């Protein structure tokens, strides 16, 4: 038997006890716990990260089963699990990954016909990550009961976490496999507060049993991300100690070390050892560069509002505003997640149930995504040197701007930080590119300074019309860039030769 690197090897076992398997390849040895997959049925899943012959030994009660399989080179869109790489992301095989996600909370809990429609939308959309809930979600425009739940009921009508509903988990497996085949990461939300079924009221012991089953069953999928919660601080039944315990458990028990985060309602969760990246809800996306400095991890604005027209303030952004916020996040070194909430009489809104996309922002997200993959990770431009009043810049270096810098440094710390954030341009750089987004400003031209030793090309990008036009070529030093005097313009400078940006 052969399995691709980062694929899934699965072994089914008839027995009456949880199996434990040890997989070895050369000096590598990995222990994996199995899970109950049906009445009297168990399974072990394993994701090999190394090519070659893998031998396994599976113990289930008093019995033992041995065997082997051959792990072959990964191919096609299989690049392995996504990993944090400094303040950016990469696939396990070294390929670049730029998350361009969407939110579709309860799509797996919908009727089959609607799920199939959601798949078709995914196939035609630019998204390579989807935020989704394992438990059903109860919110406005999301009142229907699903056909299946993760657990069976006990004799008192409560949920029995020791009795998984196998039809539900088989359905969930099919959804995960479909996403994996499309190259879409599943950012799986494990807990949330929007619950009328009682899942958020599990005890700590029940939560651990639930998490244990998730990890055993799902961690072999290369496209799984763990999100401990959507709006953790709104889950009134959980404490900070609970979230820490959950994070430590997932981090310790997942044999593959998948990405792990937690999403906030109001208060951004503080940095912890188990956190691999930062998942943030905030409408002031310009703060992304500040959060990158604070956490020194990749930062995704997973909820900045939604393109739509419903009555809630978070759900009626214009398409341009959605795109505008995306560009700010990216040029400042972060990432952003799309969402859509257009009103429908049948209450099938993409943000909750999937179905069809009706907005104008997805095409612009595709345009931005292509640019992200072309130019690579950007480091945000900052005024960091001015943020420390005990180490101000040299007076002579201030030149004619000395009065401005002195006034800035004289501000109280909080006011100074806010002013610096306000004045910092929406701009990021790497060694080959400089990208500045002008947002809602409408200048007719822009003065800029390129390195003196080299040649550079300057393009003007219209983020809404999705056009790129070269306006200067082979230039260096101080330049004047002609602009169209309209909103939604970005300027991309590309190094052709000479000094890095």
Domain range for 130 is 82-375
Same domain, yes or no, for 222 and 93? yes
pLDDT tens readout for residues 402-437:
788 788 888 888 888 777 777 788 999 999 999 999
For residue 421, what pLDDT is reported? 72
As a whole number of angstroms, the distance between CA 381 and CA 399 comes to 20
Same domain, yes or no, for 59 and 156? no
pLDDT tens readout for residues 280-300:
999 999 999 889 999 999 999
Under 8 Å between Cβ of 435 and 460 = no
Same domain, yes or no, for 136 and 279? yes
Q: How many CA atoms lie within 13 A of 444 on its CB side?
A: 0
Same domain, yes or no, for 466 and 334? no
Under 8 Å between Cβ of 450 and 489 = no
pLDDT tens readout for residues 309-353:
999 999 999 999 999 999 999 999 999 999 999 999 999 999 999
Same domain, yes or no, for 297 and 235? yes
For residue 385, what pLDDT is reported? 47
pLDDT tens readout for residues 171-208:
999 999 999 999 999 999 999 999 999 999 999 999 99
Strands (E), 92-139: 100-103, 129-133
Same domain, yes or no, for 156 and 137? yes
Does the residue 412 lie in any domain? no
What is the count of structural domains for the chain? 3
State pTM to two decimals: 0.94
Q: Of the candidates 441, 454, 450, which has an alpha carbon nearest to the alpha carbon of residue 483?
A: 441
What's the CATH number where 453 sits? 2.60.40.3950
Q: Assess whether pLDDT exceeds 90 at residue 397.
A: no
Same domain, yes or no, for 316 and 189? yes
Percent of the chain exceeding pLDDT 70 equals 96
What's the CATH number where 11 sits? 2.60.40.10
Q: Assess whether pLDDT exceeds 60 at residue 389.
A: no
Same domain, yes or no, for 30 and 96? no
Instruction: Specify burial of residue 483 (Cβ count, 10 A radius: 0-12, 13-18, 19+).
Output: middle
For residue 337, what pLDDT is reported? 98
Q: Assess whether pLDDT exceeds 60 at residue 84.
A: yes
Under 8 Å between Cβ of 447 and 479 = yes
Same domain, yes or no, for 62 and 17? yes
Same domain, yes or no, for 459 and 345? no
Does the residue 341 lie in any domain? yes
For residue 383, what pLDDT is reported? 58
Instruction: Specify burial of residue 38 (Cβ count, 10 A radius: 0-12, 13-18, 19+).
Output: middle
Same domain, yes or no, for 152 and 9? no
What would the mean pLDDT of 481-493 be, rounded to a whole number?
98
Domain boundary among 38, 72, 106: 72
State the Cα angle at 396 between 393 and 399, rounded to 5°. 95
């Amino acid at each position: 038997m052969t399995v691709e690197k980062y694929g899934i090897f699965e072994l089914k076992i008839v027995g009456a006890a949880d199996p434990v398997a040890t997989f070895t390849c050369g000096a590598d040895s990995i222990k994996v716990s199995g899970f109950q997959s049906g009445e009297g049925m168990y399974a072990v899943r394993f994701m090999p990260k190394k090519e070659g012959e893998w031998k396994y030994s599976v113990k289930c009660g008093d019995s033992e089963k041995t065997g082997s399989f051959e792990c072959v080179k990964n191919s096609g869109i299989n690049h392995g699990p996504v990993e944090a790489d400094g303040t950016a992301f990469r696939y396990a095989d070294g390929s670049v990954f730029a998350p361009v996600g969407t939110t579709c909370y309860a799509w797996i809990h919908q009727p089959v016909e609607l799920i199939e429609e959601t798949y078709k939308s995914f196939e035609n959309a630019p998204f390579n990550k989807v935020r989704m809930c394992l438990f059903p979600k109860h919110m406005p425009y999301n009142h229907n009961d699903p056909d299946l739940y993760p657990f069976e009921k006990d004799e008192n009508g409560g949920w029995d976490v020791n009795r998984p509903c196998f039809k539900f988990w088989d359905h969930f497996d099919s959804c995960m496999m479909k996403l994996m085949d499309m190259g879409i990461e599943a950012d799986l939300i494990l807990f949330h507060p929007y619950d009328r079924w009682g899942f958020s009221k599990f005890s700590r012991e029940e939560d651990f049993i639930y998490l244990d089953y998730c990890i055993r069953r799902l961690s072999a999928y290369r496209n799984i991300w763990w999100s401990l919660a959507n709006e953790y601080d709104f889950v009134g039944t959980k404490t900070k100690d609970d979230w820490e315990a959950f994070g430590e458990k997932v981090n310790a028990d997942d044999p593959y070390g998948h990405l792990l985060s937690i999403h906030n309602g109001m208060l951004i969760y503080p940095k912890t050892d188990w956190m691999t990246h930062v998942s943030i809800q905030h409408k002031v996306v310009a703060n992304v560069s500040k959060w990158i400095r604070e956490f020194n991890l990749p930062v995704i604005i997973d909820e900045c509002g939604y393109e739509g027209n419903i009555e809630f303030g978070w759900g009626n952004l214009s398409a341009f505003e959605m795109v505008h916020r995306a560009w700010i996040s990216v040029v400042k070194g972060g990432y952003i997640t799309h969402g859509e909430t257009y009103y429908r009489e049948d209450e099938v809104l993409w943000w909750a149930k999937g179905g069809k996309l009706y907005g104008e922002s997805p095409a612009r997200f595709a345009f931005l995504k292509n640019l992200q993959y072309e130019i690579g990770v950007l480091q945000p431009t900052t005024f960091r040197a001015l943020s420390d009043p005990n180490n101000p810049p040299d007076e002579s270096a201030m030149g004619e701007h000395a009065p401005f810098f002195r006034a800035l440094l004289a501000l109280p710390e909080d006011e100074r930080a806010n002013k610096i954030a306000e004045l910092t341009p929406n701009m990021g750089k790497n060694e080959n590119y400089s990208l500045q987004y002008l947002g809602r400003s409408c200048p007719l031209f822009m003065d800029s300074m390129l390195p003196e030793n080299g040649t550079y090309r300057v393009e003007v990008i219209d983020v809404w019309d999705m056009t790129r036009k070269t306006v200067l070529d082979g230039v260096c030093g101080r330049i004047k860039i002609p602009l169209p005097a309209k909103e939604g313009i970005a300027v991309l400078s590309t190094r052709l030769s000479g000094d890095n940006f």
